[in-house]
Amino acid sequence: MAGASDKARFYQEQSVPELQEFARKNIFTKEEIASIARKRSHFEHILNARGSKPQDYARYTEYEMNLESLRQKRVKRLGIKTSNHTGQRRIFFILDRATRKFHGDIGLWMQYIAFARKQRSHKRVSQIITKVLRLYPTRPELWIYVATNYLNDGDMTEARGYMQRGLRFCKGDQKLWVEYAKMEMINISKIAGRARILGLDVEKIKEKNSLIPEDDDEDIITLPATTSEDMVPTQRPSDGVEQEALEKLSTSPALSGAIPLAIFDAARKHFKEDNEFCQNFFDMVAEFCDEPCHVLILSHIMDTLRTIAPESPGTLIRWIRQPVIGIDAASPEFPALFGLCLDRIKTTLTPISTAPETTRPFSILGQKVIAWMLTYQKEDLDTDVREVMRITIRKVESVSARL
């Protein structure tokens, strides 16, 4: 224990100049400074003794973060000029010790990256990311976390690069493929939003099926080429060039959905037409129903689903729902599109209900149809549409009861 005490005392002595500054500039009272010293001594003895745990480092880090936040508030209120780097360096030092000792604890790495990002220490963020990905290149959640952070910072190029590299190491992880495509859909949403702000009518964008290139290398997803001008025009177009801007957007993979489609096709081949994966991909794209390209992407996925698993309840319920995905239940076009859903229900359930060997699939599909229609109960529906839903639910329940 003597060794642990010596180490704890050594680390405490390093903070003495900081505590002296607190007293000299009246940032904290003498009682508060004594309390800080005792608390740090307590944590250092725990960390340097045998049996320390990752949670101990996490709690110490949290304490220092709260202390630094309080210090900054008091400095601002008192109008005192002081260095902000001392507290920051101390927290970085604790996190660095934690990740060196418990390099297998992903939570500590995440905390380290999050703090470095909050401090806008871009160089350190890059160093931490490099370390953790070299240690654990087969952990898909790390690639997703890093790429998402870059996406949130507006750097889609870096985000896409990390996802591409992640797929080289974690090609068998379905969630990584779906998250990569989701990231591209988020990017499309952002671009479309900027286009609307610039006055461009994204609804006029033509959907093209010929934007996905063939890829001979199974380890690389070749994405359609895009330029910065394809993404967002640099200024609001005047009347003379608005049509030209629209034409550029209409052929841009950034808004046509070609990149998510390329990801889907590459993943579909890799997972050998896995039905569950295709369904998860479909559900993810359905979340982005405000974007013009979602219709094209969902149609492409549905074609695949109806080819590889045409009688799967998961495929059938998605095929039934497809016409009204993204359509407001209170909009004028909803009743007509819902009529297409009813036609698909009739087409699907009639032959199934007459075949004894399909009792279980029908039961599952019937439950899914009823659950889907019940989601509209709180919507502002047309009276006739609500009545049709009620009758349809009763019919499905009646057929299920006879099986």
Predicted pLDDT of residue 400: 66
Q: What is the pLDDT of residues 278-297, one digit of tens each?
A: 999 999 999 998 877 888 99
Average pLDDT, the chain: 82
Average pLDDT in the 369-384 region? 86
Q: Is the pLDDT of residue 85 over 90?
A: no
Q: Taking each helix axis from N to C terminus, what angle separates 258-270 and 294-308, rounded to the nearest 10 degrees? A: 20
Predicted pLDDT of residue 359: 52
| Nearest Cα to Cα of residue 294 among 337, 330, 255 | 255
How many residues are present in the chain? Answer: 403
Is the model more confident about 380 or about 84? 380
Q: What is the pLDDT of residues 165-198, one digit of tens each?
A: 999 999 999 999 999 999 999 988 888 777 777 6
Residue at a domain's end among 102, 123, 150: 102
Q: Does residue 107 fall inside a structural domain?
A: no
Q: Are residues 184 and 300 in the same domain?
A: yes
Q: Is the pLDDT of residue 249 over 70?
A: no
Query: Which range of residues forms the domain containing residue 272?
Result: 171-309
Calpha distance 93→61 (Å, rounded): 10
Predicted pLDDT of residue 361: 61
Predicted pLDDT of residue 380: 78
Question: Which residue's structure tokens are 């330029």?
Answer: 227
- pLDDT band, very low/low/confident/very high, at 401 (cuts 50, 70, 90): low
By mean pLDDT, which of 56-60, 215-219, 376-380 is the weakest?
215-219
Contact 78, 27 (CB under 8 A): yes
Q: Are residues 388 and 268 in the same domain?
A: no
Q: Does residue 135 fall inside a structural domain?
A: no
Average pLDDT in the 115-128 region? 89
Q: Are residues 200 and 293 in the same domain?
A: yes
Q: Does residue 110 fall inside a structural domain?
A: no
Predicted pLDDT of residue 347: 86
Question: Which residue's structure tokens are 């959640």?
Answer: 141
Distances (CA, A) of 393 to 287, 328, 359, 387, 396: 25, 21, 18, 10, 5
Predicted pLDDT of residue 338: 92
Average pLDDT in the 116-140 region? 91
Calpha distance 272→44 (Å, rounded): 53
Predicted pLDDT of residue 234: 40
By mean pLDDT, which of 239-243, 310-314, 344-348 is the weakest?
239-243
Q: Using CA of residue 133, residue 267, residue 310, residue 324, what is the dihedral sign?
A: positive
Calpha distance 183→191 (Å, rounded): 12
Average pLDDT in the 305-310 region? 92
Q: Are residues 204 and 299 in the same domain?
A: yes
Sequence-ordered strand ranges (E) for 129-228: none
DSSP 84-99: SHHHHHHHHHHHHHHH
Average pLDDT in the 191-214 region? 55
Q: Are residues 256 and 332 in the same domain?
A: no
Residue at a domain's end among 41, 75, 102: 102
Predicted pLDDT of residue 193: 78
Q: Does residue 147 fall inside a structural domain?
A: no
Q: Are residues 211 and 326 in the same domain?
A: no
| Nearest Cα to Cα of residue 368 among 261, 283, 295 | 283
Average pLDDT in the 38-65 region? 92
User: How many structural domains compose the chain?
Assistant: 3
Is the model more confident about 364 or about 39? 39
